[in-house]
Amino acid sequence: MKKLVRRMIGVGIGLLSLSLVACQGAGTTEQKETTGSEKSEKPELVFWELPYGPADTYGPALQKILDQYNSEDHSATVRLQMLSWSGFMEQYQTSIAAGSPPDITSSISYRIANWAEAGEVLDLTDIVENWKQDGDEILDDFLPGTLEIGMNDGKYYALPYVTNATTVYYRTDILEDELGFTELDKPVSWDKLFEMCEAVKNKYNGDVIPFSFCTLDQNSSNAMINVLFSNGTSWVNREGNGGAFDDPKALESMEFFKKMKDNGYFPEGMVTYNQADLEKLYQSGKVAMVWNAPASHVASDKELMEKTKMMGPVYGPSADKPRYVMRTGGVIGFAQTKYPEETKEFIEWFVKNNLGIFTEGHGGLLPLRKSFFDDPFFKSDWEISEYSRYTDYYEDITWPAPFSPAAADRILMENIIGQPEEALLMGSTDPQGDLKKAQESLNKIFDEYHGD
C-alpha cells in the first residue's frame, strides 16, 4: 500500500489544486542566506505556508506569531517561507522526492492523509496522548470531529488549524427587498429554495438567474458534495473505504439538479462556468443565489457586501439534519525533518497560539477552536461573522468517514464525484446509470489504496 502511494506521489498523481481558499495572492520562495555569525545555536525549523489571505496581511500576521515563538524559551527557532500558489504542489512533491521538504506546513485534510499513507508525515500521537493524560482543555475546544480528521491508521498526523465552508449566499436586494422572503438565516428546505427560484424567475423574466454553481476546475465535485450533504448522504461510505453513490439519497440528490435544470433555475451553460464567471454574474446582479466558497469577492466590495447575506444550511427531504460542507486544514511536520522533537514542540505551541492568523491575517478562514469565536473580530468582520453563524452545521468534506481517506485526493483531482451532475447538465437522462458508473470508479480507486 505505501509503495503504491509513494509511486503516486512520485509521478504527481493526486496533486489536486483544490485548496482551502481560492488563489488570492503570490508569496515568495526566496530564502535569506545567513552568515556564520548570524546563525543561532538552536536548530532552525522551516515553515512553508501558502498565502491564504492578502499578501499585505496574511504573511505578516503569521510572521508575528513566529516572532513571538522565537522570542520565547523554546528548543528551536522557526523561519517562515511563504510559497506562491503557482506550482505549489510541484514544489512540495519535488522537495519530498529530493529529501528536503520543510519541517512544518499546513494543508487540507485529504492531502495530509495521502502524505501520511506514504510515510512522509511526522507522527503527532504523543502530543494528543499527553493532552488526554493532562486533561488539557484544548481537546474540548476543537470543533467536533476535527481532531479525528487528522488520524490515519489509528495515529494522529495533523492537528486542527483552519477551515472554510461552502455556503449559499444571496442578494438581499432581490430575495428580501423585492420578493419579501424572510428568515433566510435559518435552515432552508429544498422546497423553499425551489419556491424562491420560481419567484425570481417570474419576477425578472430571464434578466436575473435564480441560482448557480460553478462547475469547471473540479467544482462540479464541490457542487455534488454540497447537494449530497444537504440530503443526508455523501460520496464516501461510513467506513471510509468505498463510495456511497449506491445510497438512494444520492439518486434523490440527482433529482435536485434535474428539477433546477428543467425548471430553468440554473443558467444555460452552467457546466462551463468557473468561479470567475460566477463572481461576475453575482456582482452584476444577474444571479440571485450562489452556492460556492469563498465569498471574499463580496467582502472586497462594500456596496455588494451591504446587499449580501449567507443563507442558512439547505436541507433535502431525506436529511437527518441540515449540513454545510467544510474543508478542514491541519498543521503537520514532515517525517524527513532532522528535528522531530523540536518540530512537535512548535506544532503543539502553534495550534494553541494562532488566533492572530484570523484576526489580523484576514484570509476569510475560520479557526477550528471554539474559544476563538469569542473574540470580537468574529462579529465585526462581515465575511467571518457570516460564516461563524453556521459553525454548528459544518461537516468535513470527507464526512461520514471517521478519518480523511487518502484516496480522496485522487478522487477529487479526477473529478469523479462531479461526473453524474455534469452528465445530467449535458443532457443525460439516466442519472441512476451515471451514479453507478461513478460508484464503480470510486470503488476502483479505494480498492487500489486498500489492496495489498
Establish if 6 belongs to a structural domain.
Answer: no
Could you tell me if 432 and 387 lie in one domain?
no
Establish if 427 belongs to a structural domain.
Answer: yes
Establish if 205 belongs to a structural domain.
Answer: yes
Cα–chain-centroid distance for residue 396? 8
Q: Residue 122 sits in which domain range?
A: 44-164+326-396
For 170-197, what is the HEC assignment?
EEHHHHHHHCCCCCCCCCEEHHHHHHHH
Half-sphere exposure of 233 (CA within 13 A, CB side): 21
Establish if 313 belongs to a structural domain.
Answer: yes
Calculate helix-pair angle for 88-97, 2-11, nearest 10 degrees.
130
Confidence at residue 193, expressed as pLDDT on a 0 to 100 scale: 98
Distance CA(312)–CA(386), nearest Å, equals: 10
**165, 326 contact by CB (below 8 A):** yes
Confidence at residue 40, expressed as pLDDT on a 0 to 100 scale: 52
Cα–chain-centroid distance for residue 290? 17
Establish if 25 belongs to a structural domain.
Answer: no
Confidence at residue 210, expressed as pLDDT on a 0 to 100 scale: 98
Confidence at residue 6, expressed as pLDDT on a 0 to 100 scale: 45
**Total of domains in the chain:** 2
Confidence at residue 451, expressed as pLDDT on a 0 to 100 scale: 67
Could you tell me if 170 and 254 lie in one domain?
yes
Establish if 1 belongs to a structural domain.
Answer: no
Establish if 157 belongs to a structural domain.
Answer: yes
- In this structure, the strands spanning 104-108 and 44-49 are parallel
Q: Is the dihedral of CA 128, 395, 330, 374 positive or negative?
A: negative
Could you tell me if 431 and 289 lie in one domain?
yes
Could you tell me if 246 and 260 lie in one domain?
yes
Could you tell me if 274 and 299 lie in one domain?
yes
CATH number at residue 92: 3.40.190.10
Decide: helix, strand or coil at residue 292.
Answer: strand
Confidence at residue 420, expressed as pLDDT on a 0 to 100 scale: 97
Could you tell me if 204 and 218 lie in one domain?
yes
Could you tell me if 317 and 370 lie in one domain?
no
Q: pLDDT tens digit string along 400-443?
A: 998 889 899 899 989 999 999 999 999 999 999 999 999 999 99
Confidence at residue 297, expressed as pLDDT on a 0 to 100 scale: 80
Confidence at residue 139, expressed as pLDDT on a 0 to 100 scale: 97
Establish if 54 belongs to a structural domain.
Answer: yes
Helix (H) or strand (E) holding 214: none
Confidence at residue 294, expressed as pLDDT on a 0 to 100 scale: 63
- Spans of the chain, pLDDT less than 50: 2-39, 452
Could you tell me if 81 and 143 lie in one domain?
yes
Confidence at residue 52, expressed as pLDDT on a 0 to 100 scale: 85
